[in-house]
Amino acid sequence: MEEELAKLGSWEPYTLANGEQGKIIADIELTTHPTYNNSISAWVEAIFSKQVLLEGGDYGPKIEIGYCIAHLINARPTADTFKSDLLDADLGYTETRKVMQTLYTAGGARRRQFRDFADMLAVDRILHLDTFIMLAHSRGTGLGRMALDFFHRLMRKLPDPYAFAGTVVLSPGKVEDQDYGGQSDQEIENGLIDFYSKSGYVVLVRGDRNSKVNMSLSVMGRTI
């Protein structure tokens, strides 16, 4: 059973383009990781909600708008656990492993093609943003970018030793159980790249998500 490591909840006001006002709420919980006990120091889960400001100054009921899952990784290049848990190509597939293997060699060194991002990748800890989902009723409203930016800020405010300021990486692809309205994988990826770019992420590599070759994932990153 996973052990709770830290929790943080906070809110801030928002105003949407349609004039709706209210407060956006984030509840973050860190637990021990269910899969990687050594190389990943925490499983991070955040639930995002909103409360609409009503006439008269009261707030409406709390409505969930989305969630995210991330992995806080101990990524010291010399750490044997980082290499054995995440960089060994013979291990079973997870997106976290694939993203790390895209960026680093089996020996833990940054791959040469990412020399322009040397400072971003030469770090002791990395946050892999595995899943970021806005529920259907909140998509296209502007709440997604607000929630993501809020998450970035709150990660810095977690209690030590879990407070995180550093490199965040992600792969901008579809989540299998989500409805994307018939869009192709490429259309979904292009839309997600545009979305994450507006929150400060840059494309580190473009890949083919359907390919089985080494550099098959697109990866984006930023520093928070």
What residue ranges define each of the domains in the chain, with the CATH number in brackets? 4-223 (3.40.630.30)
Q: Which of 19, 134, 145 is nearest to 65 (CA)?
A: 134
Sorted by sequence, the CB contacts under 8 Å of residue 208 that are 6+ apart come out as 216
Tokens describing residue 173? 């692809």
Query: Is 79's pLDDT higher than 80?
Result: no
For the chain, the distance separating the N- and C-terminal CA atoms, rounded to the nearest angstrom, is 31
Which residues pair with residue 44 across a beta bridge?
30, 70
Per-residue pLDDT averaged across 67-73, rounded?
96
More confident residue, 215 or 164: 164
Tokens describing residue 145? 């970018």
> What would the DSSP string read from start to end of 66-119?
EEEEEEEEE--TT-HHHIIIII-TTSPP-HHHHHHHHHB-TTSPBPGGGGGGHH
Q: Residue 171 burial by CB count (10 A; 0-12/13-18/19+): exposed, middle or buried? A: buried
pLDDT class of 179 with cuts at 50, 70, 90? low
Q: Which of 180, 185, 183, 182 is nearest to 216 (CA)?
A: 185
Instruction: Give me the pLDDT at residue 92, please.
Output: 83
Q: Which of 176, 103, 169, 162 is nearest to 130 (CA)?
A: 169
Per-residue pLDDT averaged across 14-38, rounded?
91
